[in-house]
């Protein structure tokens, strides 16, 4: 009987040892399959700690280490993120810029369902025809006369025209929300007002020009000739060209030089004064072969613009005076 008891006890020990061995081996296998991460946690105070964990979610790692975020703290990466490659979790304070105050809108108005439904009312389109006035224009015609006084005379009175314009108009809640022109038709053409201006006539050498109010007007051919002569004398800049035509205009208005003519073109054509009678180089500049600013300078001078008060000029180096665009301007004694 005693031998049987001993045998039973030995069998139990063997079974227990076997079970324990299996448990230990199973735990070892499981432990071998679990990866432990060495994670650095930086607290908001600056304190750093390193922990070993098998968890990868930020919230789980902080929870395992009994770390709770305060209301004014944030964590990077955020709580729902997985652990990043650098195995670092950083807790920091929330700055004032990151705190957004909620916008509270208070209103005492009550919006009814009827008002809400108005926004969904049907959009109505209509074709609308309107008659629109076409303003007339005023046309001025210059007419030379022997009289020294200027007289304006209305040759034709102006009458407004009418055109019919068709629009596509959209309405919502009886309010116009869009208006688009789709066609137009002239019912009555406007009649221009024509005013005739009579001016004193000034005869130049080789043509006729009109002067009124201290200004001169020329034909297209005469204007082209003026520009060609001006450009030949000086065309390096607007001011250089303006200085040349100003000299001719000053002479035309001077009693001393009036015997050559009372307009700039007559002064240009006077014998021995400008390049017109000295050489023929200016001819190559006819028909618009000059910079646009030369023509603008000539037109401005004919309309009264001046940039000096001198009556003569020479090429730079041949006289003393004011240098404008390579020419020296002076008043001869």
**For the segment 12-30, what is each residue's pLDDT rounded down to a tens digit?**
777 778 787 777 776 655 5
- Residue pair 210/222 in contact (Cβ under 8 Å)? The answer is no
- Residue pair 234/244 in contact (Cβ under 8 Å)? The answer is yes
Looking at residue 51, the DSSP 8-state letter turns out to be E
* Local confidence band at 302 (pLDDT 50, 70, 90 cut-offs): very high
pLDDT digits over 54-83, tens only? Answer: 888 989 988 888 888 888 899 989 889 998
Q: What percent of the chain has pLDDT over 70?
A: 77
pLDDT digits over 127-166, tens only? Answer: 999 999 999 988 887 665 544 445 678 888 889 999 999 9
Q: What is the residue-averaged pLDDT of the chain?
A: 82
CATH of domain 37-95: 3.10.20.90
DSSP string, 105-166: --------HHHHHHTTPPPEEEEEEEEEEE---EEEEEEEES-SS-EEEEEE--B-EEEEEE
Three-state DSSP state, 175: strand
- pLDDT for residue 91 is more than 80: yes
Q: So what's the pLDDT on residue 154?
A: 84
- pLDDT for residue 200 is more than 60: no
Weakest-pLDDT range from 35-44, 105-114, 253-262: 105-114
- Residue pair 77/89 in contact (Cβ under 8 Å)? The answer is yes
Structural domain spans, the chain: 1-34, 37-95, 116-196, 205-330
User: Does pTM surpass 0.95?
Assistant: no
Q: Give the contacts of 261 (CB within 8 A, at least 6 positions apart).
A: 204, 205, 252, 267, 269, 270
The pair of three-digit structure tokens given for residue 64, joined into one six-digit string: 């395992």
Which residue matches tokens 């240009």? 268
Q: So what's the pLDDT on residue 207?
A: 45
The CATH number of domain 116-196 is 2.20.230.10? yes
């Amino acid at each position: 009987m005693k031998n049987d008891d001993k045998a039973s006890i030995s069998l139990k020990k063997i079974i227990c040892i076997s079970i324990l061995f299996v448990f230990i081996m199973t735990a070892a296998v499981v432990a071998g399959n679990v990866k432990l991460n060495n994670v650095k946690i930086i607290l908001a105070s600056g304190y750093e700690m390193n922990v070993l964990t098998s968890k990868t979610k930020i919230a789980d790692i902080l929870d395992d280490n009994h770390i709770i975020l305060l209301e004014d703290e944030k964590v990077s990466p955020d709580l729902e993120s997985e652990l990043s490659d650098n195995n670092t979790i950083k807790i920091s304070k929330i700055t004032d810029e990151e705190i957004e105050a909620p916008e509270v809108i208070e209103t005492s108005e009550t919006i009814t369902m009827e008002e809400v439904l108005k926004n969904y009312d049907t959009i109505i389109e209509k074709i609308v025809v309107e008659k629109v006035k076409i303003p007339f224009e005023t046309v001025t015609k210059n007419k030379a006369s022997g009289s020294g006084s200027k007289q304006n005379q209305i040759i034709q009175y102006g009458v407004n025209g009418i055109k019919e314009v068709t629009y596509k108009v959209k309405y919502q809640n009886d309010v116009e929300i869009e208006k688009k022109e789709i066609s137009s038709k002239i019912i009555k053409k406007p009649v221009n007002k024509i005013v005739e201006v009579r001016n004193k006539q000034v005869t130049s050498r080789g043509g006729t020009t009109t002067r009124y109010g201290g200004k001169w007007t020329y034909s297209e051919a005469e204007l082209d000739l003026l520009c060609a002569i001006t450009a030949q004398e000086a065309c390096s800049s607007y001011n250089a060209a303006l200085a040349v035509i100003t000299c001719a205009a000053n002479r035309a208005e001077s009693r001393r030089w009036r015997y050559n003519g009372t307009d700039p073109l007559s002064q240009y054509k006077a014998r021995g004064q400008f390049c017109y009678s000295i050489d023929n180089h200016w001819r190559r500049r006819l028909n618009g072969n000059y910079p646009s600013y030369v023509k603008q300078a000539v037109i401005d001078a004919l309309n009264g613009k001046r940039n000096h008060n001198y009556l003569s000029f020479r090429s730079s180096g041949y006289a003393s005076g004011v240098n404008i665009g390579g020419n020296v301007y002076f008043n001869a004694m």
